[in-house]
Amino acid sequence: MKKNKIMIMLAVVALLLASLACNAVSGGDNTVDTPTTDTPTTENPAVTEETDNSGFSVTTANITNAHLASDESDTQQVDGYSPTDLGFYCYFDLNNAPDSTVVKGVWTLVYADGYESNSEIDSAEITGGDNTYYFSLGGGVDEWPVGTYKIDLYVDGSWVETIEFEVQ
Taking the chain (168 residues) in runs of 10, the rounded mean pLDDT of each run is 58 48 45 43 43 59 98 96 96 98 98 97 98 94 94 98 98
Q: Give pLDDT, residue 59.
A: 74
pLDDT at 57 (0 to 100): 56
Give the pLDDT of residue 55: 56
Task: Give pLDDT, residue 50.
Answer: 44
Per-residue pLDDT, 49: 40
| pLDDT score of 140 | 78
Q: How many CB atoms lie within 10 A of CB 101?
A: 20
The residues with which 167 forms a beta bridge, in sequence order, are: 81, 147
With contact defined as beta carbons under 8 Å apart, do 168 and 82 qualify? Answer: yes
88 in Cβ contact with 105 (< 8 Å): no
Query: What are the boundaries of each domain within the chain?
Result: 2-52, 62-167
CA distance 114 to 147: 10
Q: What is the pLDDT, as a whole number, of residue 139?
A: 80
CATH of 62-167, one of 3.30.70.920, 2.60.40.10, 3.40.50.720, 3.40.50.620: 2.60.40.10
Q: Is the pTM higher than 0.75?
A: no
pLDDT of residue 141: 77
CA-to-CA separations, 119 to 55, 141, 151, in angstroms, rounded: 32, 20, 12
